[in-house]
Structure 1
Amino acid sequence: MFKRSFAASKDRAGKAKKISKRSFRDDATKQRLRDALNNQTPETSPSIGGASPKLNSAIVTIAVGKDQRLFAAHEDVLSRSPWLASACREQFFSSPGQRRISLPDELPETFSAVLEYLYKGDYYPRLLLDKKRNTWSLEDDSAAAGNLAASTSPLTDAGAAKFTGFNDSATLYHPGVGDYLLRDTVIYCTALRLGLADLQRLALRKQGLQTGIDVATILRSARYAYANTPASDSRLRAHYLALIIRSRKTFKRSGTMQMEMERGDTQLFFDLFVAMCNHIDDVVEIG
């Protein structure tokens, strides 16, 4: 009885001692994280723009859209975005499992593509490189591998056929607009708000490879781009101006274009006028 009682008390003492050690280490770790957090900025964070994110960090819940659709992601992955990194720091002292970021103005479909990019470096449909032709194309599960060149840029193909169809995979319904927009344009604007410059470039390149887009969708998307990008960020705006100028015969015959221009209330059409004047000047100088 004495030995069994002594062994039992020894086990209890040892167990209490282990808990104490773990508690001490946890407190020291938390203190180091607090100190690092106080001195950390988005520009100096090692999680942003660095190596592949670690997948053993805390899980953060993101509520997206008016319906509060829930996503879950690792904190290190989200921290590749300066905006999301700041939001994660605000949730640092929340209990595990209760860290939550709210994005009521974003679309769940768009944020799903953002998460896919943060984890994989791309989003569906992926960019594919044809090394023999040295051309880029979009992944298409329904096409054979030998037909990758079917997704060519609308800026390089002449003719109006590319505007007569409707490309479902290239568009999404935006409740705030009440109609369909080019998906890559919405992703570009979301990436701009989240500080993901590489995702902006990726979305812009993918949009240049889309085909089968009707004039009305292009003009709605151009309006959305102007409403959701600052004047200092001219890449997406310039893309639409170049598209309209190079396909000017199609847009000139479009009643939608006329109606949109009469409606006005956007910087788009003045920029288009300036761009076309510059284009004419270039042609005159060459002549």
Structure 2
Amino acid sequence: MGEAEGVETVTEATAADDEPTGLEDIEPEVPERTTFLDFLRSPIIELVLGSGADSTILNAHQALIVQSPFFAEACAQFSDGAVARRIELPNDDVAACASVLEYLYKSDYFPSLSGNQTMEHDPTVPSPDNDGVALLRHARVYTLAQRFGLPVLAGLAHKKIHLTQSTAKGEIAYARFVYKETSVDDENIRKPVAAFWATRSHVLRHEAEQEFKRMCLEYPQFGFDVLSLVLDAQEKRSHRQEAQSSAGQASGRKRQRVSGI
């Protein structure tokens, strides 16, 4: 009899424990953390750059490159059991694409930023850089970042462009690439190029006059953008001079005459 009562008491207690208390939703759900190891366990994607005998294959982990909407859409076409996972990029620059992958793996690419306003030294860049080697490297990364849907990388490449030392001829090579490869609406990268040349007429005359002339003939939009900025600056100067002249005349009328008495 006592045993039955004990069993009944235990059963009632168990039932009471199973009843909802209203506190079930208080405990927050801890999101599952994706580790770098998880990225490395994902399938390998082959990026084929170029074509034929000149093609180059770069390998990358799928879970990392799908940070790019461009690559995410391409990888969505692969079946779960697909062995060969290839993305063809026949017209893209190998070095620039490698820099994009480097960024996806470590959030920066060589030459990395060291501090907010300096970059590490790149021994492969000639000095003086008359061909714009360094500027063009970052410009190619910028255009790829735009196409791959990576705005943070595009901003990083743009910052590195402004931190890069070059020459007048190197700047013309960079300007030619920008006006050839970027959209007309991309003022973020085009306007600084035009502003550079609009404010450096002394450089044009002494260091790169012929290159600048060829650039204007090849890309009339470049010449128009530069001329527009020059005329805007001249108009502002004229307005300031007129304002100063008017202020001088007004103040002159208010001066008291010196009496000879």
- TM-score computed with the length of structure 2 as normaliser: 0.68
Q: Which runs of 5+ in 1 are unaligned?
A: 1-49, 130-134, 143-163, 173-180
For 2:44, which of 46, 59, 78 is the aligned residue?
Answer: 59
Where in structure 2 are the equivalents of 1:9-28 lying within 5 Å? none
Residue by residue, what CA displacement relative to the aligned partner does 1:58-92 show, whole Å, maximum 9, x if unpaired?
11111112422111111121111111111111223
Matched, 1:209 2:163: yes
Is the contact between residue 223 and residue 266 of structure 1 (CA under 8 Å) also seen in structure 2? no
Where in structure 2 are the equivalents of 1:236-275 lying within 5 Å? 236-253=189-206, 254-261=208-215, 263-275=217-229
Greater Rg over alpha carbons, structure: 2
Residue by residue, what CA displacement relative to the aligned partner does 1:200-220 show, whole Å, maximum 9, x if unpaired?
111111011111x23233222
Residue by residue, what CA displacement relative to the aligned partner does 1:201-248 show, whole Å, maximum 9, x if unpaired?
11111011111x232332222122122211222111012112223333
- The Cα of 1:249 is off from its aligned counterpart by 1.3
Greater strand fraction, Structure 1 or Structure 2: 1
Amino acid corresponding to residue 66 of structure 2 in structure 1: S
Matched, 1:108 2:61: no
What secondary structure, in the 3-state scheme, does the structure 2 residue paired with 1:90 have? coil
Paired residues in the alignment total 201
Residue by residue, what CA displacement relative to the aligned partner does 1:183-210 show, whole Å, maximum 9, x if unpaired?
1111111111111111111111101111
What secondary structure, in the 3-state scheme, does the structure 2 residue paired with 1:73 have? strand
Find the counterpart in structure 2 of residue 165 from structure 1. Answer: 128
Is the contact between residue 125 and residue 140 of structure 1 (CA under 8 Å) also seen in structure 2? yes
Residue by residue, what CA displacement relative to the aligned partner does 1:5-47 show, whole Å, maximum 9, x if unpaired?
xxxxxxxxxxxxxxxxxxxxxxxxxxxxxxxxxxxxxxxxxxx
For 2:106, which of 106, 120, 123 is the aligned residue?
Answer: 120
Structure 1 pair 279/206, CA: closer, same or farther in 2 (3 Å)? same
Determine the C-alpha separation between the residues in 1 that align with 2:205 and 2:225.
16
What secondary structure, in the 3-state scheme, does the structure 1 residue paired with 2:39 have? coil
Determine the C-alpha separation between the residues in 1 that align with 2:216 and 2:108.
39
Taking only the aligned residue pairs, the percentage that are identical comes to 28
